[in-house]
Amino acid sequence: MSELSTTARQHLDTIGRAFAGIAEFNADKMLENYTDDLVLEMPYADPPVTLNGKPTILKYLRGAFKIFQFSIDITDIYELADPSMLILEYTSMGTVTTTGKVYANRYVGVYWFRDGKICRVREYFNPAITTKSLEP
């Protein structure tokens, strides 16, 4: 990985704090790092999902974290010409509480930032892995 700019490192620190909330299955802690008008897009989810606003996303994540409990490991970071954005590749490793199955997926996340917080996320992942992990 090449040397990241100061801005990109700050954005990565913000993402790290958000991912720590995921590892603790704590949606409130995760969303401390996001703007109130956050947009979360998951175009490969089945069905595709776009959620708007922190209250809506908080409700969604609280439910998800009751089922999916995992941590995230960032594998690649791509700094863009637009300093308000980063693209990350990352993996998850954890468990589905309802089935006891392993949940391990790969992601590409496009992140937008405003005033030191994440304001938009477009996350791509393999929905077949998610579906299979939920099957009894």
pLDDT per position as a tens digit, 105-124: 999 999 999 999 999 999 99
Whether 2 shows a pLDDT value over 70: the answer reads no
Over the stretch 35-78, which tens digit does the pLDDT of each residue have? 999 999 999 998 999 999 999 999 999 999 999 999 999 999 99
The label of the residue with tokens 């409130």 reads 28
Indicate the pairing of strand 102-103 with strand 85-96. Answer: antiparallel
pLDDT at 101 over 90: yes
pTM to 2 decimals? 0.95
Q: Which two tokens stand for residue 76?
A: 């690649």
Domains, the chain, ranges and CATH?
A: 6-134 (3.10.450.50)
| 40 and 50 Cβ atoms separated by less than 8 Å | yes
Q: Which residue, among 46, 53, 42, has the nearest Cα to 122 in the 3D structure? A: 42
User: Averaged over 89-116, what is the pLDDT?
Assistant: 98
